[in-house]
Chain A
Amino acid sequence: MSVVLVDAGGTNIGSVRYALQRLGVDAALTSDAAVIRAADKVILPGVGAAGPGMTRLRELGLVELMRSLTQPVLGVCLGMQLLCERSEEGDTACLGVIPATVKRFVEEPGLRVPHMGWNRLRPHRDHDLLKGLADGDWAYFVHSYAVPTGDYALATTDYGGEFASVIARGNFHGMQFHPERSAQVGARLLKNFLEL
């Protein structure tokens, strides 16, 4: 099985690659359209901001390619947000394969931004991506923007209200937390993605 990590300039690419290695998969890091198109699985990692992330994809000529992929695609953290239509972060037009607008958390007493740390996943429907996930399993989050819940939400998380923490629509999937840093729960979800 060929798995590629799309090099959109995020700093967590190394960590995601190591997590896949721990699952026995050597993922290639690439920005080559032909390699991405030919892969069995495509992962879009990302730490950083939406604007620079989309600019990088545009410069690499990957925007249309990413939208047209038919194999399973997984966006992680910012990578998941880039799958949406827009992000409030820098008012950025994103890939548009998930019908949602990414919104910033609003600080209030007791609600710190960024949302940083371990929080619970609440599964909402059966999906192969969530195999083995129990209600209340913990995942590690670091983000200031989030995808509102909707019919694309496979799981949600509560932080001053519910937001979508795992999403799927067709062959496109996203995880807002960092599976590569979410201990056994994260490893299980990454394994599920590889087995889709």
Chain B
Amino acid sequence: MLSRRLIPCLDVRDGKVVKGVRFRDHVVMGEIVDLALRYRDEGADELVFYDITASPEGRSVDRGWVERVASVIDIPFCVAGGIRSVEEARAVLHAGADKISVNSPALERPDLIDELAAAFGVQCVVVGIDSLRDADGEWRVRQYTGDPSRTQALPRRTLDWVAEAQQRGAGEIVLNCMGSDGVRQGYDLEQLTAVRRLCQVPLIASGGAGAPEHFRDAFVQADVDGALAASVFHSGAIAIPALKQSLRAWGVDVRL
């Protein structure tokens, strides 16, 4: 059967991988190709590159680094950030990306999902969703989360948006649970479980990984297909080979 996927997420700025609070205090971590190869060698199942400056600068992703990554990497990768049209998506896919991920632009204009699916097939189209629980207990979608000064809470319920995105042609959903993001206390299992119930396409958990057990819980309890993480992988706090050994020992099927 299909294995569960471990997916490091790399923030890209000006062709380099950076870390830091988004839009502030960026530290350059290294060359994008070097880090991509490092994760490939460690056994990452897939990579996500998030062009953090594309969207606020009102431009699409720089094709140059996408081509460089595509030419050396032999595992799948997805590119996110600033993709607002079929033409922009086509440029990224033709540069060698396997999938493109859309978030805020799909909220601005949901037809974008239909257009991308019609042009490239649902398997290329990932919809990223930033979600937070409101005081009334409902999970709702946030927009423009890349820029704290622009982030907006939408009236749209997360569960409704998941259903609509699938119906429009999302081939995969990445659910970033903002309430658990950055605190390393584990993925938001309650929210992931609720989304899983109505999500027939692959579901990727994002936000909260801090320990190997958190990955196990997301896979076993919330039945997600993949788990995305950034800081715990970048810092070396969790090494992918050891994590995969642990997951195997817990009965989670992963590629070794």
Residues of A near any B CB (own CB < 8 A): 11-15, 18-19, 21-22, 47-49, 107, 110, 112-120, 138, 140-144, 158-159, 178, 180-184, 186-187
Beta-carbon contact of A116 and B74 below 8 Å: no
With both beta carbons as reference points, the residue of chain B lying nearest to A119 in the complex is identified as: B2
Residues of B near any A CB (own CB < 8 A): 1-5, 40, 45-46, 67, 70-72, 74-76, 90, 93-96, 98, 120-124, 171-172, 200-203, 223, 225-226, 255
With both beta carbons as reference points, the residue of chain B lying nearest to A108 in the complex is identified as: B200
With both chains docked as a complex, state the minimum distance between the C-beta of A193 and any C-beta of chain B, in angstroms.
15
Complex A-B: 29 CB contacts under 8 Å: A11-B93, A11-B94, A14-B67, A19-B74, A22-B71, A22-B72, A47-B120, A47-B123, A112-B200, A112-B202, A112-B203, A112-B225, A114-B202, A116-B2, A116-B225, A117-B4, A117-B46, A117-B225, A118-B45, A119-B2, A141-B2, A142-B76, A142-B123, A158-B1, A181-B98, A182-B74, A184-B74, A186-B74, A187-B74
Beta-carbon contact of A119 and B3 below 8 Å: yes
Knowing A11-B93, A47-B121, the reply to whether A159 touches B98 (Cβ < 8 A) is no
Instruction: Point out the residues of chain A lying under 8 angstroms from B40, CB to CB.
Output: 183
Knowing A15-B70, A48-B120, A186-B74, the reply to whether A116 touches B223 (Cβ < 8 A) is no
Beta-carbon contact of A115 and B74 below 8 Å: no
Beta-carbon contact of A110 and B226 below 8 Å: no
Top 10 closest pairs, chain A to chain B, by CB = A11-B93, A142-B123, A18-B71, A14-B96, A118-B255, A181-B76, A138-B255, A118-B3, A114-B123, A116-B202
Instruction: Point out the residues of chain B lying under 8 angstroms from A187, CB to CB.
Output: 74
With both chains docked as a complex, state the minimum distance between the C-beta of A9 and any C-beta of chain B, in angstroms.
11
Beta-carbon contact of A116 and B96 below 8 Å: no
Assembled-state Cα–Cα distance A48/B171 (Å): 13
Assembled-state Cα–Cα distance A155/B72 (Å): 27
Beta-carbon contact of A114 and B2 below 8 Å: no
Beta-carbon contact of A22 and B74 below 8 Å: yes
Beta-carbon contact of B200 and A14 below 8 Å: no
Beta-carbon contact of B2 and A118 below 8 Å: yes
With both chains docked as a complex, state the minimum distance between the C-beta of A173 and any C-beta of chain B, in angstroms.
20
| B46, B76, B120, B124, most chain A CB atoms within 10 A | B76
With both beta carbons as reference points, the residue of chain A lying nearest to B254 in the complex is identified as: A118
With both beta carbons as reference points, the residue of chain B lying nearest to A16 in the complex is identified as: B96
Beta-carbon contact of A181 and B74 below 8 Å: yes
